[in-house]
């Protein structure tokens, strides 16, 4: 948290205090509420304009209090699965259980108090300040005519601190860079103060600095609180570094699940991502070195690699 | 700087911060200028007519304490009681000419608020009661009443609302396929609008009475000519209701602007909120159509202009529309009167012609300027 000084004028000390604040709040919360478990059972998910379901009878459980990463190639159904878990897509079949309760039986606001979702594409209106946008995160906690309470203000302050966007507070969202916008949207979801947080490709299209900022926020959530996080990530390496559990999808089917070490293997990359790659174990988690795309007529992964002179050179 | 602002926010009482947004200098400026336009336009409008009055005379009459603070007079105006004795000048100003201005104020406010609501619900800057076919639907319903159900004119706003709602639902259902694009929505609106306009025109052939036909004609282009306190009594309660609901719903409108997905993940029942707010939009548009006919383009231009000034926060936007809408309609009505007086025409041109002549080009300009057509 103290490393990022590039765009952030907050001092390390104040950032340190931030984390402490959050931790304190998180621990007090967990004494009252149990860690939430989110489970999708036998999910059949599709879109109204397609006949074939994208996912056909898949189940997955987000480990309570941990970070679960969904990975897979484009069109593998990872975002669809996330939307299904968030109750944003109508289930063709199956059920989503939040702490054992079917989410269909929860009211929309009740659900939004427990489960937050950061969509892939967030659009903001022409003129809205960062603070105003983050306040929208309190929507599920407010009644139709209710005004802002102290509790709302505290939650917004905490979320803004945790997302590290305090210095942007009064800026117009439309004037921010893509990376800054993403942090602001994350702050809005954090202001919802949910037990479960679903993030759909939060790092895609961001520069490296902001990718790391986002990862840092998720790490903080994992380490300092008991929020259950499910995150769709494009970058498998990032996923392996960040997640406690990984789920790999291809063509709407879950191909592998387990710890990053179990899931992120050369054979998984060959099967699911159709690439030849070398996986090194490092102290910062597995490192993936993509080598070349695999084609249908390629043989087993090991055979191909023998024919790759570049491999040796690179190693 | 941020610390300073936060300091202010936490020091003041909740009630103070709650209405703090009202004192945004841009909003206050907009309201002041609009108010000035309405007052000046109103005085000019009232001074014209067969019984010519000077602006000073009009002002004296408008500020006449014997009228302003006479309960009997207001009972006559607002409840339709017998009008008490008053001077000839006051009678001309207050009873014969002022209603036209007041109806213009209500029409402008209603149409602007209605347009603002539709623009948020569809997240489309090009949406307005006119473009979405609401006006044509309400118009067809009103002509139907004129022609076949003469006894029901009391309920014109409700009948107009039913027609407008029917047209809007049709447009919504045609355009809605897993969300909608602005272009789809506008196209569906134009086509449904055309159908209802044809129905309107068709009903003209069933009109036997020339006088009814004439008033129906003025009515289809949107006219404030010949309005009196009767129209104000018709439009007032519905306008108050629609405006209160629009203000109450402004936070929902703001959340809708974040997009369906975000709104839904924040726990909003998006379809229900959209439906409810659209009903408010239909009600506001219909109330104005019931008394003044179809005044085109006000619902499109005003929210857009106000948004350019105060930003897209709907709390400010709705309040801004309440001021800017009347300013546009009242000044367009004055323009219609003065311009055609200048070229020596004895007849009067309905205000809807002027708003159409001004609004059409503005719409085209919007289309040219905006790269991503219409998305708020």
Distance from CA of B242 to the nearest CA of A (A): 16
Residue where the block lists tokens 């047209």: B167
Instruction: Determine the Cα angle at A86 with ends A81 and A91, to 5°.
Output: 65
Residues of chain B with pLDDT under 50: 1-16
> Does A140 contact B267 at a Cβ distance shorter than 8 Å?
yes
| Residues of B with Cβ-Cβ distance to A136 under 8 angstroms | 254-255, 258, 266
Distance from CA of B316 to the nearest CA of A (A): 12
CATH architecture label of B103-369 = Orthogonal Bundle (1.10)
Distance CA B21, CA B64 (A): 35
Distance from CA of B359 to the nearest CA of A (A): 23
For residue A149, the model assigns a pLDDT of 87
Among A104, A108, A125, A175, pick the best mutation site for testing chain B contact (most B Cβ within 10 A): A125
For residue B181, the model assigns a pLDDT of 67
Q: Beta strands A253-258 and A91-98: pairing type?
A: unpaired
Residue where the block lists tokens 């037990």: A195
For residue A312, the model assigns a pLDDT of 39
| Residues of A with Cβ-Cβ distance to B248 under 8 angstroms | 144-145
Task: Considering only the beta carbons, identify the residue of B1, B264, B312 that sits closest to A126.
Answer: B312
- Tell me, yes or no, if A170 comes closer than 8 A to chain B by beta carbon: yes
For chain B, the domains span 103-369
- Please count the other Cβ atoms lying within 10 Å of the Cβ belonging to residue B363: 19
Nearest CA in chain B to A191: B266
Residues of B with CB under 8 A from a CB of A: 1-2, 5-6, 9-10, 14, 17-18, 177-178, 248, 252, 254-255, 257-259, 261-262, 264-269, 307, 311-313, 375-376
Distance CA A222, CA A225 (A): 6
Residue where the block lists tokens 């975002």: A79
For residue A23, the model assigns a pLDDT of 45
Task: Tell me the whole-structure pTM to 2 decimals.
Answer: 0.83
For residue A16, the model assigns a pLDDT of 41
Nearest CA in chain A to B257: A125
For residue B370, the model assigns a pLDDT of 66
Residue pair A158/A138 in contact (Cβ under 8 Å)? The answer is: no
Distance CA A105, CA B275 (A): 22
Averaged confidence pLDDT in chain B: 83
Task: Considering only the beta carbons, identify the residue of A88, A126, A144 that sits closest to B265.
Answer: A88
For residue B114, the model assigns a pLDDT of 96
Residue pair A204/A234 in contact (Cβ under 8 Å)? The answer is: yes
Token pair for A272 = 């699911």
Residue by residue, pLDDT tens for chain A (315 residues) are 444 444 444 444 444 444 444 444 444 443 344 578 899 999 999 887 778 888 888 899 999 999 999 999 998 999 999 999 998 888 889 999 998 889 888 888 899 999 999 988 777 777 889 999 999 999 999 887 777 888 999 999 999 999 999 999 999 998 999 899 999 999 999 999 999 999 999 998 889 999 999 999 999 998 888 899 999 998 999 999 999 999 999 999 999 999 999 999 999 999 999 999 999 988 878 888 999 998 876 655 554 444 444 443 333
| Residues of A with Cβ-Cβ distance to B1 under 8 angstroms | 170
Distance CA A41, CA A96 (A): 6
């Amino acid at each position: 948290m103290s490393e990022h000084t590039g765009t952030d004028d907050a001092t390390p000390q104040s950032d340190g205090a931030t984390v402490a604040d959050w931790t304190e709040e998180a621990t007090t919360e967990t004494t009252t509420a149990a860690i939430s478990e989110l489970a999708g059972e036998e999910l059949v998910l599709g879109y109204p304009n397609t006949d074939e379901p994208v996912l056909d009878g898949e189940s997955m459980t987000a480990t309570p209090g941990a970070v679960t990463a969904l990975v897979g190639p484009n069109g593998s159904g990872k975002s669809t699965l996330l939307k299904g878990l968030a109750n944003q897509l109508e289930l063709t079949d199956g059920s989503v259980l939040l702490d054992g309760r079917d989410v269909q039986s929860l009211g929309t606001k009740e659900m939004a108090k427990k489960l937050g979702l950061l969509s892939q594409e967030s659009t903001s209106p022409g003129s809205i300040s960062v603070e105003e946008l983050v306040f929208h995160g309190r929507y599920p906690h407010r009644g139709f005519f209710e005004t802002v309470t102290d509790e709302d203000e505290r939650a917004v302050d905490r979320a803004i601190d945790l997302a590290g966007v305090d210095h942007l507070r009064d800026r117009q969202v439309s004037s921010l860079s893509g990376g800054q916008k993403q942090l602001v949207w994350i702050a809005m979801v954090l202001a919802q103060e949910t037990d479960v947080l679903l993030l759909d490709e939060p790092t895609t299209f961001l520069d490296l600095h902001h990718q790391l900022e986002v990862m840092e926020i998720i790490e903080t959530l994992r380490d300092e609180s008991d929020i259950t996080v499910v995150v769709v990530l494009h970058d498998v390496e990032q996923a392996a570094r960040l997640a406690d559990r990984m789920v790999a999808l291809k063509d709407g089917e879950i191909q592998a699940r387990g710890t990053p070490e179990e899931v992120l293997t050369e054979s998984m990359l060959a099967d699911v991502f159709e690439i030849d790659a070398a996986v090194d174990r490092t102290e910062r988690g597995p490192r993936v070195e993509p080598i070349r795309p695999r084609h249908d007529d390629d043989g087993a992964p090991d055979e191909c690699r023998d024919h790759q002179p570049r491999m040796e050179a690179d190693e | 700087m941020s610390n300073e602002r936060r300091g202010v926010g936490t020091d003041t009482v909740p009630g103070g911060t709650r209405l703090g947004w009202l004192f945004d200098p841009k909003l206050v400026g907009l309201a002041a200028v609009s108010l000035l336009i309405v007052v000046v336009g109103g005085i000019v409008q009232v001074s014209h007519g067969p019984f010519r009055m000077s602006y000073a005379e009009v002002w004296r009459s408008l500020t006449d304490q014997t009228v302003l603070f006479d309960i009997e007079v207001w009972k006559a105006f607002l409840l339709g009681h017998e009008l008490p004795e008053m001077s000839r000048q006051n009678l001309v100003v207050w009873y014969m000419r002022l209603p036209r201005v007041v109806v213009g104020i209500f029409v402008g406010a209603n149409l602007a608020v209605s347009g603002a609501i539709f623009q948020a619900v569809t997240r489309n800057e090009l949406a307005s009661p006119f473009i979405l076919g609401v006006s044509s639907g309400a118009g067809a319903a009103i002509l139907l009443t004129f022609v076949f159900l003469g006894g029901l004119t009391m309920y014109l706003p409700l009948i107009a609302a039913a027609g407008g709602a029917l047209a809007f639902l049709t447009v919504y259902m045609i355009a809605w396929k897993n969300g909608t694009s602005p272009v789809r929505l506008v196209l569906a609106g134009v086509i449904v609008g055309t159908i209802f306009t044809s129905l309107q025109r068709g009903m003209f052939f069933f009109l036997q009475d020339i006088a009814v036909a004439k008033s129906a004609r003025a009515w289809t282009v949107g006219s404030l000519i010949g309005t009196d306190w009767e129209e104000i009594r018709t439009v007032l309660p519905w306008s108050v209701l629609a405006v209160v609901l629009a203000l109450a719903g402004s936070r929902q409108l703001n959340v809708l602007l974040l997009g369906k997905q975000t709104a839904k993940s924040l726990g909003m029942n998006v379809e229900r909120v959209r439906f409810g707010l659209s009903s408010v939009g239909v009600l506001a548009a219909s109330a104005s159509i019931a008394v003044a006919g179809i005044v085109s383009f006000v619902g499109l231009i005003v929210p857009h202009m106000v948004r350019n000034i105060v930003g897209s926060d709907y709390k400010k936007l709705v309040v801004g529309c309440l001021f800017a809408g009347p300013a546009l309609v009242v000044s367009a009505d004055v323009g219609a009167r003065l311009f055609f007086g200048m070229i020596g025409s004895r007849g009067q041109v309905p205000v809807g012609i002027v708003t159409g002549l001004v609004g059409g080009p503005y719409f085209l300009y919007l289309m040219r300027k905006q790269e991503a057509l219409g998305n708020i």
